[in-house]
Amino acid sequence: MTKSSNLSQYLGKDMHCACGRVHSTKLKKIDIEEGALSRLPEHIKEFGYKNVFMVCDVNTFAAAGEAAERELAGAGIRHYTLVLPEKELVPDEQAVGKVMEAYEKGTDLILAVGSGTLNDLCKFVSFQLELPYMILATAPSMDGFVSVGAALIHNHVKTTYQAHVPEAVIGDPAVLSAAPMEMIVAGLGDILGKYTCLVDWKMAHLIEGEYYCETIDKMVKESIEIVVEESEGIKNRDRNAVKHLMEALVLSGVAMSFIGNSRPASGSEHHLSHYWEMKFQMEGKKPILHGIKVGVGMIAVTKMYEMLKEEHPDFAAAAKRQPDYESWKKKVCDCYEDAAPGILELEEECHKNSVENRNKRLQVMEEKWPEICALIEKEIPSHRDMEKMMASLGEPVNPHQIGISSEMVKDAVILAKEVRNRFTILQVLWDLGLLETYAQKIADYFDTEQETDQG
C-alpha cells in the first residue's frame, strides 16, 4: 500500500528542528481529495474573502475555470475572470502586465487556475499587490505550487523572484488525472530530479559549509518514494496515484518554503533545464514542459555523478590551472545572447569562478574526496534504472527526443551553472578542470551509447 503523505502535519505551526532552525509555512489549507473543486467556495468563505480575481488561460479555463466560475456563482461569491488567450503562455513581462491590467481595486483574493506558469504569475502579482492567493491546480506538473519563489522570464533570463506561498492548494483528482499525459509525466520528472539535487545540496554542505537540514532532506526523499511506488498507477491515470503524485509535489514545495528557497528541490538538473528553456525561447521554439526537461537533465547528471565517483583527481594540477576567462566570456556571450549581460553581472557579484574561490574549494574537496565518493555511491540511483522507469511511462530520456541537439547538450553542461549562484556538481567539474570533457562525454552518451530501447 502506498505511503500517503500527511501534509496537514506541516501546516499552522512552528517546527523546532534539530538543524537549529524553526521551520514553518504560511500555507493554511491543502485539499487534494475527490470533490475538491466543489469545495472551492467553502475554502474561500472560510478565510472570509468576498471579491475574487480568477486568472486562467484558455486551456485551464476549459479544464477547471468554467466549473470554478459556476461554483463561485452558486455560492454567491463575487468574482471576475481573466482568461489569457495564449495556448502556450510564457511567464514574461507581457504576461505580468496583462494580469496587472485586469486587476480591479477592491479585490481581496487572487485565484490561480492552472499549474506552473499561472501559479508563478499569480504568485508574483499577488505578492506585488500585497494580496493573498490560492491555486486551483489543473495538472500535477511541477513542484513550485507552494515554494516562496516565482519563476519568470525577465530580459530573456529565467529569474526567480521572492514572493509568497498560496493560502490554499486545491487539487481535485478528477481534474488532475484528466490533464494531458505529458503534464503528468512532467510532474514525475520534476520529482525524480530530487535524486540529484539532494546530492548537490549535500556536496555544497561538505565543500562550502552551506546550510543543510536532514529533516527537510527526508521530506523530499519521501516525495520521491511516493512517486516511484505509484509510477505504474500514474501511467494508467489512476486517480489515487495521481493524487499521490500531487501530494508529493506539494510536499516538495513545503520543504522549499521551510527554508525560503528552492535548494532542497532544485540543483544541476534544473540548471540544465533552465538553460535549454532559455535557448528554446531565444530560438522561437515551442517550449518543453519544465519537468520533462528536468527528467532528461537528471539522467545527464546521474551519469556525470557515476563518472565522477570513478575519478582520481590531481588536485595540485587543478589548483595550478589558469582558467581562460576571455574564452569563457566569449562563450557566455555567444550562447546566452541577450541574456549574457545578466550572466556576466552575476559572476561579477559572486566570483564563483575566481581562482581564489576555486582553490579554497579544491583544498576541502581533496580532504573530503572519500566522503564525497561514498555519498555518490549511497544516494545516486543507477541512470539505467531511471531510464527504464521513465521510458516505461513514455517520458523522454534522451534530449534529442525533445529537440535538444548534441551541441546544446554540451553547451548546457558547460554553461548552465552560470544561471544561478548555487554550488552543484557542475561547479565541482569546473573546479577540477573536467567540465568540457564531461560535456563531450555526456553528448556522446546520448548520441551513441544510450540503450536504443530507452533512447
The pLDDT tens digits of the residues spanning 185-231 come to 999 999 999 999 999 999 999 999 999 999 999 999 999 998 899 98
Nearest to 144 by CA among 172, 120, 113: 120
Q: pLDDT at position 160, please? A: 83
Q: Report how far residue 183's alpha carbon sits from residue 290's, in angstroms, rounded to the nearest whole number.
A: 9
Q: pLDDT at position 154, please? A: 79
Q: How many residues does the chain have?
A: 455
Tell me: pLDDT of 133 over 60. Answer: yes
Nearest to 412 by CA among 262, 301, 263, 289: 301
The pLDDT tens digits of the residues spanning 236-285 come to 999 999 999 999 999 998 998 899 888 999 999 999 999 999 899 888 88
Q: Report how far residue 272's alpha carbon sits from residue 263's, in angstroms, rounded to the nearest whole number.
A: 15
Q: Report how far residue 223's alpha carbon sits from residue 188's, in angstroms, rounded to the nearest whole number.
A: 10
What residue type is assigned to position 382 of the chain?
S
Q: Report how far residue 169's alpha carbon sits from residue 124's, in angstroms, rounded to the nearest whole number.
A: 16
Nearest to 196 by CA among 145, 143, 101, 265: 265
Q: Report how far residue 53's alpha carbon sits from residue 99's, in angstroms, rounded to the nearest whole number.
A: 10
Q: Cα 421 from chain centroid?
A: 16
Tell me: pLDDT of 453 over 90. Answer: no
**Helix (H, G, I), strand (E, B), or coil: what is residue 230?**
coil
**Helix (H, G, I), strand (E, B), or coil: what is residue 336?**
helix
Mean pLDDT of 19-37: 95
| Alpha-helical runs (H) found in 107-230 | 116-128, 173-176, 181-192, 194-208, 214-229
Nearest to 216 by CA among 24, 421, 12: 24
Mean pLDDT of 399-425: 96
The answer to whether 277 and 408 have CB atoms below 8 angstroms apart is no
**Distance in angstroms between the alpha carbons of the first and the last residue of the chain:** 32
- Which pTM was predicted? 0.90
The pLDDT tens digits of the residues spanning 59-103 come to 999 999 999 999 999 999 999 999 999 877 888 888 999 999 999
Bridge partners of 134, per DSSP, are: 111, 168
The pLDDT tens digits of the residues spanning 347-380 come to 999 999 999 999 999 999 999 999 999 999 999 9
The pLDDT tens digits of the residues spanning 424-442 come to 999 999 999 999 999 999 9
Exposed, middle or buried, 227 (CB in 10 Å: 0-12/13-18/19+)? buried
CA distances from 398 to 386, 406, 448, 455 (A): 12, 10, 11, 5
Q: Which residue has the cell 505529458?
A: 182
Tell me: pLDDT of 153 over 60. Answer: yes
